[in-house]
Structure 1
């Protein structure tokens, strides 16, 4: 009885420890030096550029397979690019929903095509990394995510070369 009470008290005092679900994504560096991750968006495999300098995550407008019902959504405001919420997962483990801005990413994929690397379906921006308390580790070439949604900060780990 005391053990049950102690465990219950621990779970009450430290609920975040019990609810944290960490997912580790392997990063890949292609011949052009660009970093990417492989995820599924709405159940469809996707190659996404890791772009911590981008404020938002984007999806190539030409990738209709990812869109709900395969149709391009309308813009929320005149002149603004359309946005869509997609379900993000890694190896059947749900990461959650992410808002993607639909843009023409051919300018990124032209270089990839010239170098003989597969095209990018989209890019993950700072909004995704912040939402999931991402820790980007360049030494292990991984991104650790807090998939529980209880995180508040993001970190980038690695050494700077001088």
Structure 2
């Protein structure tokens, strides 16, 4: 099955609310409808013919220090893992960093699990973009919903207002 890509700004019905409100500020974003049962990266890539190294995952990290919890999004290629306990924890100046629990990530982002994306996250959250993602001509990411995916240049992710490009993969 092939994907039908179209400008994301014109298809708010395929985007979570926060994503629909924020996507117009990002250049070059396209959206395609998919089977929501195939939203998980490996199943999506296999079914739609997208390589794993063209797909980027957004993981929400909870960073704790002194009784305070701060959140950040990490963007890494699907073939890599974010070094949450090393690079990410140190960069966020946290005593402890871990993946945010699913229910917490869903509630705080207003997005569906398996579709969380850095576009439309809370304003005070940093978006840590791995250098491999930032250098990609085009990556496929979540749309905030399980029934669609976004495609955009890695440079557009690196250019998000709160984005910082780092070597995140450990």
Structure in which a larger fraction of residues adopt helix: 2
The verdict on a shared fold, with TM-score over 0.5 as the criterion, is no
Structure in which a larger fraction of residues adopt strand: 1
**TM-score, length basis structure 1:** 0.25
Higher CA-based Rg:
1
**TM-score, length basis structure 2:** 0.24
